[in-house]
Amino acid sequence: MPAAAVAQASPSSGGATFTIGELAREFDLTTRAIRFYEDCGLITPQRSGRNRVYTARDRTRLKLTLRGKRLGLTLAEVKELVDMYESPRDTQPQLKKFLVVLAAHRAQLEQQMADLDATLDEVRAHEKEARRLLAEGERRKGG
């Protein structure tokens, strides 16, 4: 998730620009999803008439957003972290915040894993009991 710096290109500075379709293809998203991220304030394309013009900065923010989602972060958490990485301040507070967020998600995933393990143990016990009862019923029929 951390990026040393988020690109600051803009159409007026001659930096790379992208259409919504290009970003959708590159990241295997729908244009609707990209517009949703725009509505959430994660990306802020410029406009050329009715068309959205995405800069390298928008592309990087979208990439970081998708990375954060894969980690299980909420969009609010992603926005907070991505916004922090854009500031030219010292990166120590940013990295500390990132570690706090990651630790919370790791703990949540570990709890979910423990819950799944317990549920699997219970399912196995029920399967074993059902097999035992079936075998017992077969023995009664046959002998």
26-44 pLDDT, tens digit each: 999 999 999 999 999 999 9
CATH node for 11-87: 1.10.1660.10
- Domain boundary assignment for the chain: 11-87, 89-143
How high is the mean pLDDT of the chain? 86
Quick one: pLDDT at residue 84? 79
pLDDT confidence tier of residue 8, bands split at 50, 70 and 90: very low
In 10 A of CB 7, how many CB atoms?
16
Backbone angles phi, psi at 109, to 5 degrees: -65, -40
Ordered DSSP codes for 37-52: HHHTTS---EEETTEE
